[in-house]
């Protein structure tokens, strides 16, 4: 009497009918996971709340900030506030970091030179330093010109009839003697003095303060008959001092002796232009670092990205942008190896390098190349990089599936899922994708087919032992749905290892894979094989006995299911509860005669993990019955 081993080692497949599944493929694999170098299925662990008191509103954004030589932090976005806690796995206590935000529905960050830059798509960005202090990202440009009072107390200078000197101001934020950031003037925010051949004593009064955090301002001026923005600093004073006198003397003064005004000189084709280096950063919902520059999208021009001067994230010159097709919009940006991948709603582009003014010709067109023209990314949380020894890859959620690229080719990771019937595609912009390296898997949070919130999670297991050998090298096994809902997620390093954190609409931050219970739902390990035609297509087979091999889980049990199917008849389901106290083949006497069979395993106990290794069935085919 032949004995058939029925494996559970090839993951969930819903894109094909259960009658078409191959050996080891499953029609259901809920609330379970694969572990490295193990073909068995394990029930997923639950989550524990890390904040001792839930926040009063939805956790809209969540990030982990790892600093050099300083305590790491967790930052959450709730309501109109950024709040922070030390990076711990329990007992986290959040306090206000930034208040008075307009709102926004996300929180994204980028790290450069031991500082984090925080953006939510509505408010101006913030810089977070390792000491826990924050500063607005960049500065607003001037909106008005200074005023020349010609009432100075010094010697003054003579300006020939018809000659000109131009003045403008620069607001600054300083710490001690260091200038942390500056703002920019425009050609429309300058004051020009025209000479009449007589002595003048220019005393320049700044316009109304534009930047609330400015601590100082400086006056700049041109040489006689030069024009903005070619000038140099005349003097600097604290922001509360409103007037600076130009103390140059003689006739038709030359360039002031102070620091030259910061410019970017760019040649496009044959035309050279000078623009202020300290442009206004855009309002952004996406941030990344590439070639030591801060890369941002622009919520006011969705088809464009901006980039800062290297190592100076507050300096974003007016020339430093790359644009994409106007009919598309940037949804995510990620660095992948030596290239920058810009993900748009309907396409994916590769940036080979950032145009610099020292280039022979400043060209935005030659640095970009379309990688994929149909399957873009759905949102700012919906992409992450990962790898397992054969080069980094970028996975991203599109409207049509979970895609993957190595920067040269792309493929689909979710081919085993019936995508349209698994997720609410119209709500996928809320999807969250993170790489959990401790578990060798991608975790995708998304709205299920009838939901408008992220109520389910699917695992894509990328450890080499779980790559599907009959597909491309990045095709991985899938398990899910995992009933651990969340609005946002991040990966935190603590206590010598990495943990997955998830934020929830109830104000809690949860530590993934912690404990046996799920605080906002229930975990029910549910496994179903495909339909097994043990007697061949159209023939009859008989299951005489069945075994389930499992690991030892004291004081727990499981329900085994056996479904028999015959043409023109209702399905017959038989269930039996088995004891999991020992690691063994648990037997179930199961006489049955049918054209096809389906086997199942269920466990919803909260007292610990459970492992199913495989099924075995003693079968007879039609001629032997």
- pLDDT tens digits for range 123-174: 999 999 999 999 999 999 999 999 999 999 999 999 999 999 999 999 999 9
Predicted confidence at residue 500, as pLDDT, reads 96
Sheet holding 401-405, edge to edge: 383-386, 393-398, 401-405, 410-412
Please tell me the predicted confidence (pLDDT) of residue 542: 80
Residue 115 predicted with pLDDT over 70? yes
Q: Write down the pLDDT at residue 595.
A: 87
Per-residue model confidence (pLDDT) at position 589: 66
Contact between residue 533 and residue 541 where contact means Cβ atoms under 8 Å apart = yes
Pick the CATH number of 3-44+525-624 from 1.10.1740, 2.60.120, 3.10.450, 1.10.8: 2.60.120
Average pLDDT, the chain: 92
* Residue 431 and residue 26 in contact, taking contact as beta carbons nearer than 8 Å: no
Is 201 exposed, middle or buried, given 0-12, 13-18 or 19+ CB atoms closer than 10 A?
middle
Query: Which pLDDT score, from 0 to 100, does residue 131 have?
Result: 95
Question: What is the average pLDDT across 507-521?
Answer: 93
Please give the average per-residue pLDDT across 325-351, as a whole number: 95
The predicted structure's pLDDT at residue 267: 63
Indicate if the pLDDT at residue 44 is higher than 70: yes
How far is residue 452's CA from residue 505's CA, in Å, rounded to a whole number?
13
**Secondary structure class of 477 (helix, strand, coil):** strand
Supply the pTM of this predicted model. Answer: 0.93
Is the pLDDT assigned to residue 182 strictly greater than 90? yes
The Cα–Cα gap between 464 and 474 comes to 9
Among 382-386, 434-438, 516-520, the minimum mean pLDDT is found in 516-520
What are the helix (H) ranges across 174-291?
none
Q: Once rounded to an integer, what is the mean pLDDT over residues 507-528? A: 93
Q: pLDDT band at residue 607, thresholds of 50, 70 and 90? A: confident
C-beta of residue 65 within 8 angstroms of C-beta of residue 73:
yes
**What percent of the chain clears pLDDT 70, i.e. is strictly above it?**
95
DSSP category for residue 51: B
Give me the mean pLDDT over the 247-276 stretch: 85
Query: What is the model's pLDDT at position 621?
Result: 63
Tokens 């919130």, located at residue: 453
Q: Which helix (H) or strand (E) holds 421?
A: helix 419-422
Q: What is the pLDDT of residues 345-381, one digit of tens each?
A: 999 999 999 987 666 566 677 889 998 888 999 999 9
Measure the CA–CA gap between 537 and 535, rounded to whole angstroms.
7
As a whole number of angstroms, the longest Cα–Cα distance in the chain is 120
- Indicate whether 36 pLDDT > 80: yes
Q: What is the pLDDT of residue 549?
A: 95
C-beta of residue 184 within 8 angstroms of C-beta of residue 281: no
Distance from C-alpha of 339 to C-alpha of 335, rounded to nearest angstrom? 6
Residue 239 has pLDDT above 90, yes or no: yes
Report the distance separating Cα 8 and Cα 17, nearest Å: 17
- Output the six-digit token pair for 525: 């390990």
Q: Which of 239-248, 479-488, 533-542 has the lowest mean pLDDT?
A: 533-542
What are 195's strand-pairing partners? none
Question: What is the rounded average pLDDT of the residues 405-428?
Answer: 93
- Average pLDDT of the residues in 332-337: 96
Residue 612: the pLDDT is 97
Residue 225 region, left (φ>0) first, then alpha (ψ -120 to 50), else beta? left
Say if CB 152 and CB 328 are below 8 A apart. Answer: no
Q: What is the pLDDT of residue 151?
A: 93
pLDDT of residue 470: 62
CA dist 138 and 279 (Å) reads 8
């Amino acid at each position: 009497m032949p004995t058939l081993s029925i494996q559970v080692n090839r993951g969930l497949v819903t894109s094909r009918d259960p009658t078409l599944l191959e050996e080891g493929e499953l029609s259901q694999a809920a609330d379970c996971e694969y572990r490295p170098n193990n073909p068995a299925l394990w029930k997923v662990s639950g989550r524990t709340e890390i904040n001792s008191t839930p926040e009063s509103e939805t956790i809209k954004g969540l990030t982990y900030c790892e600093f050099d030589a300083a305590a790491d932090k967790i930052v959450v976005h709730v309501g109109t506030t950024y709040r922070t806690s030390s990076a711990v796995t329990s007992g986290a206590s959040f306090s206000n970091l930034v208040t008075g935000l307009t709102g926004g529905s996300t929180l994204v960050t980028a790290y450069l030179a031991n500082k984090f830059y925080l953006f939510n798509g509505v408010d101006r960005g913030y810089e977070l330093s390792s000491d826990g202090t924050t500063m607005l990202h960049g500065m607003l440009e001037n909106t008005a010109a200074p005023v020349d009072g010609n009432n100075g107390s010094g010697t003054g200078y003579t300006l020939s009839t018809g000659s000109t000197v131009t003045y403008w101001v620069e607001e600054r934020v300083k710490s001690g003697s260091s200038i942390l950031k500056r703002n920019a003037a425009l050609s429309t925010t300058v004051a020009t003095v025209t000479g009449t051949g007589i002595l003048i004593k220019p005393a320049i009064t700044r316009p109304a303060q534009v930047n609330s955090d400015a601590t100082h301002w400086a006056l700049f001026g041109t040489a006689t008959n030069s024009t903005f923005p070619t000038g140099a600093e005349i003097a600097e004073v604290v922001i509360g001092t409103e007037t600076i006198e130009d103390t140059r003397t003689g006739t038709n003064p030359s360039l002031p002796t102070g620091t030259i005004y910061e410019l970017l000189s760019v040649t496009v084709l044959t035309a050279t232009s000078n623009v202020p280096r300290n442009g206004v950063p855009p309002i952004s919902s996406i941030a990344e670092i590439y070639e030591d520059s801060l890369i941002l999208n622009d919520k006011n021009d969705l088809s464009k990205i901006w980039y800062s001067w290297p190592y100076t994230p507050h300096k974003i010159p007016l020339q430093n942008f790359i644009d994409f097709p106007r009919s598309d919009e940037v949804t995510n940006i990620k660095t992948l190896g030596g290239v920058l991948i810009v993900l748009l709603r309907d396409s994916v582009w590769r940036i080979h390098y950032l145009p610099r003014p020292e280039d022979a010709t400043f060209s935005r067109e030659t640095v970009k190349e379309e990688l994929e023209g149909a399957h873009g990314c759905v949102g700012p949380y919906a992409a992450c990089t990962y790898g397992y020894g054969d080069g980094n890859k970028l996975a991203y959620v599109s409207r049509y599936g979970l895609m993957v690229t190595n920067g040269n080719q792309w493929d689909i990771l979710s081919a085993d899922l019936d995508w349209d019937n698994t997720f609410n595609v119209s709500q996928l912009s809320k999807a969250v994708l993170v790489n959990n390296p401790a578990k060798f898997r991608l975790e995708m949070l998304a709205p299920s087919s009838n939901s408008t919130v992220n109520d389910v999670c699917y695992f894509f297991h990328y450890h080499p032992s779980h790559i599907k050998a009959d597909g491309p090298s990045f095709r991985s096994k899938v398990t899910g749905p995992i009933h651990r809902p969340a609005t946002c997620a991040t990966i935190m390093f603590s206590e010598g290892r990495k943990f997955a954190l998830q934020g929830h609409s109830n104000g809690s931050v949860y530590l993934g894979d912690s404990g046996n219970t799920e605080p906002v739902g229930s975990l029910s390990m549910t496994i179903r094989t495909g339909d097994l035609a043990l007697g061949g297509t159209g023939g009859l087979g008989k299951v005489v006995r069945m075994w389930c091999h499992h690991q030892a889980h004291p004081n727990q049990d499981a329900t085994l299911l056996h479904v028999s199917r015959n043409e023109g008849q209702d399905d017959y389901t038989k269930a039996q509860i088995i004891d999991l106290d020992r690691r063994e083949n648990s037997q179930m006497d199961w006489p049955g005669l049918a054209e096809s069979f389906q086997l199942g395993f269920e466990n919803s106990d909260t007292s610990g993990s459970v492992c199913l290794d495989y099924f075995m069935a003693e079968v007879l085919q039609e001629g032997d019955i």
